Chains A and B, each alone.
Chain A
């Protein structure tokens, strides 16, 4: 039997019958170190092909450990994703990612949110911000939704008060970066509030803290497994979440040599530097930046009633990278039309959007996050493709 077992190819699925027995010495190379199986019978259920495109051991090796054997580069991993996903690191990453979704749901459901599902095939490129994929739709064409924004808001106008939705988001941007995908999972929420949009911002902040706390408490094993291959500093956050205002951030950046105007948007290097400065000062990897200038926000953002140059909008950062851009939305059709004209948007393309607020709409605010980006930044990974099961980017459509 020894001879036949040796000829079973690596990664084959086998059934084993044997006797569990104690061992005199711990078996270092296994997870079960105190016992072993004295095998009586082996059955091969599914034989693997003899030549594997990549070795699981190589794929699980930490960076920089070349002495132990070769590394597998990202393209090879993604081309043979099934094998790459078998490493314990990948298994841990996706279990943790599932946990993020579960914690998101739990956190919002206990705050009386209703889960809804919005359509992904839409008739018009709604936001006009990101680019959209066009698909043929019987005799005409349609588009793949680049965010559930419009439908979240319509749900609020349908008296659902607090909604969240988890679904695919499609962005046709030819971005070839470490943190963009063309298809990703969006976790979006929207809620009506009574007096001030900070009611919504408080809920969003608590939701994030629930997620981080839950990951820290329930997924410690997974985090450690990932850190074995991809070491990173543990994720730090404050209770309640840190909240800074945009003017404060601009002041801090200027003190550290960044030249920027009061109403200018933050560049990516400025965001990263701000992340480091906040980390040094407050010891947190997570913070909310409130009160963005109106000039850099989309047309549907509600202006600040006390200062028309500021808006009731906010961005949220993890490890110096933006994960959510949210705001109070304009719920008054007249003001919305005004702002759209100011931004030189063709009203015919958004008429149905404006009309949805015609029959009574509560003031509301919300935001959306990308599941993959949050997971990637929580674990301190360097590439979003590591946290997407079968990633889609401008150059990759398979597997």
Chain B
């Protein structure tokens, strides 16, 4: 994935958590995005995300005090970096979409029942794919689309990620792919 995409994600996260005095840059030598805050440097999207959450005023976004939740969030952050960002071709993307869709069949958010940083980071990662999907394809991944629509409205990060259209009606019931 292009480095400036991760850049965007980090900036969006920093905006969301309202963290002052932080700068984001891409270190060409090591090939990772870095966040510099008050002298501290944090590398890599997953670490940056955890760091931002810990230093923010919204502790619930990193799972509160429950260790289980914290661990799950970490796993999803890793999922984003290792799997979502490494999709090479269409088939991989379809596999990821299918997997996430079935995971969200009975869940409102990825971890617990409120927004966590895992949701945000996955939302950023899937934005490019969702931007390209037709309404018919979005209806195919019904649960994932429902989650995406929910997060994009709650996150309110429109200047980084514009709101994508979703239909709230079944438009393609009984229609084969055309």
Contact = CB atoms under 8 A, between A and B. Distances in A.
Interface stretch (A110-118, A135-143, A273-281): A273-281
Nearest to A280: B169
A395 B132 CA distance: 35
Contact of B170 (A233, A255, A280): A280
Interface string B148-178: 0000000000000000110101111011001
A257 interface: yes
Contacts of A255: 165
A256 interface: yes
Nearest to B172: A276
A277 B171 contact: yes
B19 interface: no
Interface residues of A, number: 12
Contacts of A280: 167, 169-171
B165 A276 contact: no
Contacts of A233: 174
Nearest to B136: A276
Main secondary structure of the interface of A (DSSP, over half): helix
Contacts of B172: 276
Contacts of B175: 276
Contacts of A269: 134
Contacts of B104: none
A256 B165 contact: yes
A367 B89 CA distance: 47
Given A256-B135, A273-B135, A279 B171 contact: yes
Contacts of B171: 273, 276-277, 279-280
Given A276-B172, A276-B175, A279-B171, 14 more contacts: A255-B165, A256-B135, A256-B165, A256-B167, A257-B135, A272-B178, A273-B135, A273-B171, A276-B136, A277-B167, A277-B171, A280-B169, A280-B170, A281-B169
25 contacts: A233-B174, A255-B165, A256-B135, A256-B165, A256-B167, A257-B135, A257-B164, A257-B165, A269-B134, A272-B178, A273-B135, A273-B171, A276-B135, A276-B136, A276-B171, A276-B172, A276-B175, A277-B167, A277-B171, A279-B171, A280-B167, A280-B169, A280-B170, A280-B171, A281-B169
